[in-house]
Structure 1
């Protein structure tokens, strides 16, 4: 009985392999493995929560679930920008906790083969190198591939977990 279920799970994982949701923050294009993405929503009212890091803008109520939202611009030490009609919240699942990522705009879901992904340069000075798990080559474009598990340090993750 469970054999069929395992096959379905394996099939869904296979169909997601190599697929990335791409989005932009400033002039850079980023990608997140589609397996982490639960949904994409427009920008909404955000309730500020005291004593959270500045890049955690607050929380939203998404169909009864309280979800912390992170402004990716601020997390990546970029200049803050007014939100507009292209601004989106990408809701991802990190270790069973839903987190919203505020991005400038969402582009598309693309397939990037492992052979077109190279490790990031080993430069210790890059402020967001720890969040980048690889660099995807897509034609003449480059997509910085985010490591969702490293987007939050363990203490930051624990603090956000307390909120929800």
Structure 2
């Protein structure tokens, strides 16, 4: 990667981070015990999980491809990509079909929760972490209140730059993306 591309990548990620902090609508989903949120505008559809056709020599987190109305769509298991301890396939397992930089990609998650509108006041900056932890795809933390009064609890929602994650070099999808 040359310096210009690196600088452009950093600028683009900062723009997404700033956009996240302005608030908006997020699709929330579960990976293990954690709840994540992605920009609803990246989501094309949500489908039940079906066994994809395996591709030889693909990274372990790329489960294969499916034919979605004539479009061959790579299926990425986000649980494996992000290091969840287990990845069970059950009735709740779904594929979030995303449109990332003009390319259709499927992301396997444990379950989809809901669509939430978060205002800027509900979004906190992502914590700074050591370089051992790749937090570059985390754009912020959403704090969602459950209930009211003394019974109110707060749910933490990890807001993710799904476009940067899917376009990262280790995904192997980068060659087709511009």
TM-score, normalising length: structure 2: 0.76
2-structure distance, mates of 1:86, 1:158: 29
Aligned-residue Cα RMSD (Å) equals: 1.7
The reply on whether 1:39 has 2:55 as its aligned counterpart is: no
**Other structure's SS at 2:79 match:** helix
Aligned residue for 1:158? 174
Moved more, 52-61 or 96-105: 52-61
2-structure distance, mates of 1:99, 1:135: 24
In the TM superposition, residue 119 of structure 1 has moved relative to its aligned partner by 1.5
Aligned residue for 2:65? 59
List 4+ stretches of structure 1 deviating above 6 A: none
Residue 55 of structure 1 contacts residue 74 of structure 1 at CA under 8 Å; is this kept in 2? yes
Residue 65 of structure 2 contacts residue 74 of structure 2 at CA under 8 Å; is this kept in 1? yes
TM-score, normalising length: structure 1: 0.82
In structure 2, do the counterparts of structure 1 residues 109 and 128 end up closer, same or farther at CA, with 3 Å as the change threshold? farther
Q: Which runs of 5+ in 2 are unaligned?
A: 1-22, 146-153
In the TM superposition, residue 128 of structure 1 has moved relative to its aligned partner by 4.4
Aligned residue for 1:142? 156
Q: How many residues align?
A: 145
Q: Which runs of 5+ in 1 are unaligned?
A: 1-16
